[in-house]
Amino acid sequence: MAKLVVLKIIDGSFEQGFTVMQEIGEDNQRPSSITVGKLPPLPEMPLYYSRWKESYWRLESRYRITVKKGQRPNVSVLDDCDNASKMLRARLNTWLLAEDYRSIREQWLKLLSPEDEIRILIQTEDSQMRALPWNLLEFLEDYPNAEVALSALNLEPLQQRNCAPKSCVNILSIVGNSDGIDTNVDQVLLDQLPQTYIERLIAPDRKILTDQLWNTAWDILFFAGHSTSQDGKGRIFLNKTDSLTMGELKYALQKSVANGLQLAVFNSCDGLDIARELAELNIPQIIVMREPVPDLVAQEFLEYFLSDYAQGKSLYLAVRAARERLQGMEDRFPCATWLPLICQNPTVFPPMWQDFLQPEPPQAPTRASMPAHRSLAIALLTSFAAAALVGVVRFFGLLQPIELAAFDHLMRLRPPEPPDSRLLVVAIDDEDLRQQSQQEDLKGSISDQNLTKLLDLLTKHQPRAIGLDLYFHRYANQGTPQQLALTAQFRNNENLISICKVGYDKANPYGIAPPPDIPPKSFRVGFSDFMVDGDEVVRRHLLGMNSQLQSESRCQVLTAFSIELALRYLYTDLESAETGFFPPAGNETFKIRLKQRSKDWIAVPHGYTALSKPMDEVIFPSLPLRLGGYQGQGLDGKGSQILLNYRAGNDLRSIATQKSLSWFLSQDNPPSTQELNQLIRGKVVLIGVTAREKDDYHKTPYGNTLDDRVPGVFIHAHMLSQLLSAVLDGRPLLWAWSPWGDWAWIASWSSIGGLLAWGALRSSSSKAPLWPVVVLGVSLGVLYAVCAGCLMVLAVWMPLVPSGLGLLIAGSGVTVLSRISDRSLQ
């Protein structure tokens, strides 16, 4: 049951304070509670209001404003208005927290709940109190179904003829003097209303308007055009020469009210005085704009209000919803949400749109099946229950293995991408290990002599960076020429990036340290650790670690190997002060900011980060604790990580040109200088082991059998390519909706499943027992195609598995319940 709250501001002033009486009860019934309180003196309140009004009026000379879409008024004037509005609103809310007003607040909290639909009438004769923005009180944000209206203290009971419901709503639309105003939009919006008869008066003279008000029973009176207030009287401009005050229409309006007029909407400026005069004429409900209103604001409000009201929302909730939707325009039109205002005759209950119309006769249910409205309700409830069930199961992580497997499947469906021409991989394969072992006692994957030769050769041809994906268990300066030469490379080669390992295992209980010869704080070491899921598949890209995770590790670097290589590649273009890890609200977010250049760098889109960032900035937001199919485990929040967007291909090793170690160091058939220049110059060279005996192989979404596993150096290559492609090519990162967005998607498909099954069962083909199965099967195919397409085109990980489960459970449940109900009726 809806509630009615009446706040009667009986007497007083801002200098002396006001006596307030609050009445609370069921709507359209006598109040069940009456509380008296007091608002303390606040003589500066009119000054706050005057400052706001003056700053608002300065936005443009005496509205209507005709700012075009996308245009912004003067910034300083906007700021003045915004600051004045915040001060006024804050002062008003503080005023209502006064101790003398406490009894009224407590009674409100005791008798009203946030779920109630509440009409709030502010009854006062004080013009300054009427002008305050009561509908923006902070505590009303906790009551989403409440809206405020103004009312006079002294009103006569309304005498109105009872009109029989009819087939259409009668609307009298008056288009007055509209110089500088686009009233065509208002008329188009009226035309879109269902079941209406609209009589339009375009720039009418006084007699034509009066005759229409006297001779026809109107439900709604609508005015669009210029209006103004002066000396407490509202005036509307009918055309370029004629204008009228409300007093000059007194008898015609009273006759129209007697004939059934319920609502007057004045989509014009300066409406407070117009509303007061119309209320004195006993018009039941009035909607006005309290101050000069911009064209775009007036049109948007009218569109939102009429749409919601005609679709069944109450008058008050339709106004609140339309008013709150104007918030999206307040960057250009400050205080747009303040403008719409209801003025209400308290003796009248506001009508619903359907109250104007003749209801359709109900159809008798067939003997063999449940009534349509009842079966539809069961279908919707079943769909909601299915969505809730799937949501709970998913929340506890029971669907995570299936969802990750589905994610892997969708990843494999993506079309192949060309190799990344910025990368070169030097692979130390089984043949390289065999040849080195024949020449010396090989302790690692590559001898000091061969590594020195390789680094000298690569450096000679000027790569942008060299990434050494090899661990070193040696100390510098042991005296051999090979080790001294290698030490010089580690110390002096600024483009050489090496690795260490933070994580531990039985062989390395404290991780693995970086090469000791690389100078500390040189930003030439990155950790090589991978994030693996419970099934040992690498689906995530770890960018940075929290320092507390490394307290006992020999690897004390905070950034990943791929990060250091990417930054080295982009070094000449970086804004170094604005590149790195930044803490937004949770885990650290990684950001790369490039210097302004003639080329427009493309910002990578994300579903969980703001899009309003410079075009030369790419943000890599760290994954939240729950994302996509990661619900029960996996995302621990202990480091900055993103989903790894592998460069699609039939073989993940085809991401870059690959050459073996022996190819580079061959003495029988050495590569030419030209060939080496083409391979190396300006690229990132990754050196790593691909030999099977070293067991540096990992499962990926593209396969987890022994033959499908990928060497670690190629995983690093995909990570590096992801970073460079996002910054330089605009290649999107993988992202997913928030948990609430996922649940809305799941609920939508559950509803689709339930409604399709309901429709199939009630169609002419419902005799066929397999018809619902066919419909649900086709729906699953559509869902699969949508999820696959979104991943391919938008890089969005959609909740395929839970949505499909919701669709099947809802559809099956509706089918079973419907057949059980039909049998019980036969």
Distance CA 101, CA 86 (A): 22
* Percent composition of the chain: helix, strand, coil (DSSP 3-state, to 5): 40, 20, 40
Strand (E) or helix (H) holding 660: strand 657-660
Per residue in 716-760, pLDDT tens? 999 999 999 999 888 999 999 998 999 999 999 999 988 888 887
Which strand ranges, in their side-by-side order, compose the sheet holding 3-13? 33-39, 17-26, 3-13, 118-123, 146-151, 340-344, 285-289, 263-267, 220-224, 169-175, 196-202
Give the β-pairing of 263-267 and 285-289.
Answer: parallel
What is the predicted pLDDT for the residue at 766?
46
Q: How big is the chain by its Cα radius of gyration, in Å?
A: 36
Which phi and psi (to 5°) does residue 163 adopt? Answer: -100, 135
Three-class DSSP category at 706:
coil
- Residue 769 pLDDT grade (very low, low, confident, very high; cuts 50, 70, 90): low
In contact, 428 and 660? CB cutoff 8 Å: yes
Q: Amino acid identity, residue 74?
A: N
Paired strand residues for 689: 428
Which phi and psi (to 5°) does residue 397 adopt? Answer: 80, 10
Between the alpha carbon of residue 126 and those of residues 13, 750, 786, the distances in Å are 8, 54, 59
Paired strand residues for 171: 198, 220
Distance CA 493, CA 540 (A): 31
In contact, 622 and 586? CB cutoff 8 Å: yes
E-assigned strands of 262-348?
263-267, 285-289, 340-344
In contact, 369 and 823? CB cutoff 8 Å: no
Distance CA 793, CA 816 (A): 38
In contact, 595 and 360? CB cutoff 8 Å: no
Spacing of C-alpha 798 from chain mean position: 15
- Helices vs strands, H then E, count in the chain: 22, 28
Q: What angle do CA 609, 610, 612 make, to 5 degrees?
A: 150
Q: Which domains does the chain carry?
A: 3-151 (no CATH), 169-356 (3.40.50.1460), 372-398+736-825 (no CATH), 413-728 (no CATH)
Residue 656: count of CB within 10 angstroms of its CB: 23
- Residue 636 pLDDT grade (very low, low, confident, very high; cuts 50, 70, 90): low
Three-class DSSP category at 566:
helix
Paired strand residues for 223: 174, 266
Between the alpha carbon of residue 441 and those of residues 433, 444, 663, the distances in Å are 11, 9, 21
List alpha helices for 427-582, DSSP H. Answer: 430-439, 448-460, 481-492, 561-569
Per residue in 642-651, pLDDT tens? 999 999 988 9
Three-class DSSP category at 225:
coil
Per residue in 374-430, pLDDT tens? 778 888 898 999 999 999 999 998 999 999 999 999 999 999 999 999 999 999 999
Enter the tokens of residue 815: 């089918």
Between the alpha carbon of residue 730 and those of residues 119, 598, 615, the distances in Å are 51, 16, 10
Enter the tokens of residue 816: 């079973």
Per residue in 545-565, pLDDT tens? 876 666 788 888 889 999 999
- Residue 607 pLDDT grade (very low, low, confident, very high; cuts 50, 70, 90): very low
Distance CA 742, CA 394 (A): 11
In contact, 286 and 278? CB cutoff 8 Å: yes
| pTM of the complete model | 0.55
Give the β-pairing of 496-500 and 285-289.
Answer: unpaired
- Residue 28 pLDDT grade (very low, low, confident, very high; cuts 50, 70, 90): confident
Per residue in 341-354, pLDDT tens? 999 888 888 999 88
What is the number of alpha carbons within 13 Å of residue 485 lying toward its C-beta?
Answer: 13
Q: Amino acid identity, residue 687?
A: I
Which phi and psi (to 5°) does residue 626 adopt? Answer: -130, 125
Distance CA 705, CA 195 (A): 65
Enter the tokens of residue 632: 């029960």
Mark 10-19 as b/e (b = at least 16 C-beta within 10 Å). Answer: eebebeebbe
Cα–Cα nearest to 824, from 375, 255, 188, 360: 375
**Higher-confidence residue: 763 or 46?**
46
Paired strand residues for 244: 236
Distance CA 201, CA 203 (A): 6
Residues with Cβ within 8 Å of 234's Cβ and at least 6 positions away in sequence, in order, are 227, 228, 245, 246, 270, 271, 273, 274, 275, 276, 277
Q: What is the mean pLDDT of residues 26-51?
A: 91
Q: How many residues does the chain have?
A: 826
Would you say residue 653 has pLDDT above 90?
Answer: yes
